[in-house]
């Protein structure tokens, strides 16, 4: 992926951290429960939604399939692959996504299901107004590297790195 000037920092998230934060999100949602069901915003919201559904013992899970990112990490046109319609505008449902960044995707989802509770693990300032519950606020200039976007790789020992530079 090409670098986007808007992202100057990386925030790597491990599977363990994602699971821990997904459980923390479920704890925060407990005070709003019970929910009729969970709506995962694909693709990033699939894993957090599964964690929330398990922790809150919710069996009814659906998806909204939407994207706004381009390959260069910039926000482009919103591409709605699969929408959703729920009675009462989604009252009693919880929407789960991995993060809210610019808020563009969240605004589109909210238009479809305006009365659902919107929850994310991570939230950035530009999208905060779209989220009802979140766990961690991250600066707008940070690109979150989720576990599904990473792979372990060899890193040279520090002593070797200094020899190469020196």
Active site residues: 97-98, 101
N- to C-terminal Cα separation, the chain = 30
Q: If DSSP states are collapsed to H, E and C, what string results for 46-111? A: HHHHHHHHHHCCCCCEEEEEEEEECCCCCEEEEEEEECCCCHHHHCCEEEEEEEECCCHHHHHHHH
Place of tokens 């009462």: 88
Distance CA 66, CA 63 (A): 9
- Asked if 60 contacts 39 with a C-beta cutoff of 8 angstroms, the reply is no
Q: Tokens standing for 156?
A: 């040279």
């Amino acid at each position: 992926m090409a670098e986007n000037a808007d992202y100057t920092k990386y925030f790597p998230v491990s599977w363990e951290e994602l699971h821990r934060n997904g459980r923390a999100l479920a704890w925060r949602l407990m005070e709003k429960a019970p929910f009729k069901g969970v709506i995962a915003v694909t693709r990033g919201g699939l894993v957090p939604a599964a964690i929330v559904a398990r922790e809150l013992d919710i069996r009814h899970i659906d998806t909204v399939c939407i994207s706004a990112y381009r390959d260069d990490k910039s926000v482009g046109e919103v591409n709605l692959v699969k929408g959703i319609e729920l009675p009462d505008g989604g009252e009693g449902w919880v929407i789960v996504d991995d993060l809210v960044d610019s808020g563009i995707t969240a605004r589109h989802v909210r238009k479809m299901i305006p009365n659902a509770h919107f929850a994310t693990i991570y939230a950035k300032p530009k999208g905060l107004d779209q989220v009802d519950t979140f766990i961690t606020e991250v600066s707008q200039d940070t690109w979150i590297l989720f576990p599904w976007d990473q792979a372990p790789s060899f890193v040279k020992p520090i002593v070797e790195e200094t020899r190469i530079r020196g």
